[in-house]
Structure 1
Amino acid sequence: MASVNIAEYDEIKALPDHPEKLLIDVREPNELKETGQIPTSINIPLGQLEDELKLSDSEFQAKYQRNKPNPSDELIFHCKLGGRAQKAAEAAIGLGFTNVKNYKGSWTDWAQKENL
């Protein structure tokens, strides 16, 4: 199993100031409807992640209004508690991404610290 770095709340909170970093929420769309989402994140459900990361630059841009990440760009994954985010991070590493993090605690940690 690949070793995945951990992102902390403060790093996630600062993401609006770091558009070069991409926060990917790997929960299902219905989960986002229930909770909302972390600012700047894009939603790519875990089951679709590998296919989406293989899209062409223009397809990714059209679908997510964000530049497709390069293999060296920082990717941070989150879900509800961190389990699916870990799987997503490992999948991204398997696709050749080298700067990958799991926001451990994920939505649950964010909601608690943001008093949601």
Structure 2
Amino acid sequence: MASPANVITYEDLKALLEKSQNLLLVDVRGKEEVDKGRIPGSAHIPVDTVEAAFSLEPEEFKAKYGVAKPQLDAPELVFHCHMGGRGGRATEAARKLGFTNARNYVGGYKEWSEKEGK
């Protein structure tokens, strides 16, 4: 089970989305899932490409994903999938690469869409 430091709740994520300029929210679901709906402002990096993506040079990362690559100590790096599993794997992969504050939004898009009434 992931330690609480690795996870973020719907309420915390919502607050970050409203106030943070530095949040990088990464949707690790498959393209078909993302096409059906996404959390506004999220970047799409499928779970099986997270390790490669976060190993890219900053300019390559920006060119490929359209967002700035976070610093290793970036405080606001959040991964999510549909229900938490893949987001957890992506978070672990990022942490192994040195992104010490990477977190998983465990509720995932399922909880988000329910709370947002989508």
Give the alignment partner of residue 24 of structure 1, picking from 19, 23, 26.
26
- Partner Cα distance (1:20, 1:88) in 2: 19
Distance 1:41 1:67, change over 3 A: same
Q: Secondary structure at the match of 2:102?
A: strand
- Partner Cα distance (1:89, 1:11) in 2: 17
Deviates more, 1:24-33 or 1:8-17: 8-17
1:1-116 alignment, distance < 5 Å: 3=3, 4-14=5-15, 15-34=17-36, 36-73=37-74, 74-116=76-118
TM-score (norm 1): 0.91
Q: What does the per-residue CA deviation read over 1:44-100, in whole Å, with 9 as the maximum and x for residues that have no partner?
A: 000111001011111111122211111111211100000000111111111111101
What letter matches 1:8 in structure 2?
T
Aligned length in residues: 115
Moved over 3 A (4+): 1-4
1:2: how far off?
6.5
- Partner Cα distance (2:50, 2:21) in 1: 20
- Partner Cα distance (2:65, 2:20) in 1: 17
- Partner Cα distance (1:19, 1:37) in 2: 19
1:12: how far off?
2.0
Q: Secondary structure at the match of 1:24?
A: strand
What letter matches 2:7 in structure 1?
I
1:19: how far off?
2.3
TM-score (norm 2): 0.90
Q: Secondary structure at the match of 1:30?
A: helix
Contact 1:16 1:39 in 2 (8 A): no
Residue segments in structure 1 that go unaligned for 5+ positions in a row: none
Q: Secondary structure at the match of 1:99?
A: coil
- Partner Cα distance (1:54, 1:16) in 2: 28
Residue segments in structure 2 that go unaligned for 5+ positions in a row: none
- Partner Cα distance (1:62, 1:20) in 2: 18
